[in-house]
């Protein structure tokens, strides 16, 4: 087991919980969820650029970018939908329920991606144990969403 990778991933999950609240606050100041999302992405892009330059990682070449399949360019849409919706739906249903629903949706999507080995994921068949794990996540969503 790669304990370090799991711990870092959990820490990033904690940051996502914080991000839901920060996006909601930014929405209240900018007036719209899309404006808040734009601020989020501008700040994130500047931070990523700073890390790239500070670490002297090479930027991709035009040929590398041109070699990416057309559907790979859609990756940012998921992030945009997450950030914009967190600014609206997080305050509406609460941070825990929002993130639990996001995780449940990610779980369902990732089970399909794994099962069929789509978009570069290794094939991992849908087993009873994996279905039970997904059902437990959904049960967690139901418990967190209860008033």
Residue 140 · residue 97 · CB < 8 Å:
no
pLDDT tens for residues 27-39? 999 999 999 999 9
Rounded CA separation 130/124 (Å):
10
Residue 45 · residue 108 · CB < 8 Å:
no
Neighbours of 124 (CB within 10 A): 14
Q: Say how many Å lie between the first and final Cα of the chain, rounded.
A: 37
The dihedral built from the CA positions of residue 12, 16, 17 and 22, taken in this order, carries a sign that is positive
pLDDT tens for residues 57-86? 999 999 999 999 999 999 999 989 999 999
Neighbours of 23 (CB within 10 A): 24
- With a CB cutoff of 8 Å and minimum separation 6, the contacts of 82 are 102
Report, as ranges of residue numbers, the positions in the chain whose pLDDT lies below 50. Answer: none
Question: Residue 80 has what pLDDT?
Answer: 92
Rounded CA separation 38/35 (Å):
5
Q: pTM of the predicted model, to two decimals?
A: 0.79
Question: Residue 147 has what pLDDT?
Answer: 66
Torsions phi, psi for 123 (to 5 deg): -65, 125
Find the radius of gyration of the CA atoms of the chain: 18
The dihedral built from the CA positions of residue 18, 19, 21 and 22, taken in this order, carries a sign that is positive
């Amino acid at each position: 087991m790669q304990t370090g990778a799991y711990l870092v991933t959990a820490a990033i999950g904690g940051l996502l919980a914080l991000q839901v609240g920060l996006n909601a606050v930014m929405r209240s100041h900018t007036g719209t969820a899309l404006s808040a999302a734009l601020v989020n992405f501008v700040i994130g892009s500047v931070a990523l650029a700073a890390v790239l330059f500070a670490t002297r990682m090479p930027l991709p070449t035009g040929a590398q970018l041109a070699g990416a399949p057309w559907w790979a360019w859609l990756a940012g849409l998921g992030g945009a939908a997450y950030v914009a919706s967190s600014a609206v739906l997080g305050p509406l249903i609460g941070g825990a329920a929002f993130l639990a629903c996001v995780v449940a949706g990610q779980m369902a999507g990732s089970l399909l991606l794994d099962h069929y080995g789509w978009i570069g994921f290794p094939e991992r068949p849908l087993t009873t144990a994996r279905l039970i794990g997904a059902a437990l996540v959904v049960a967690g969503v139901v418990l967190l969403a209860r008033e």
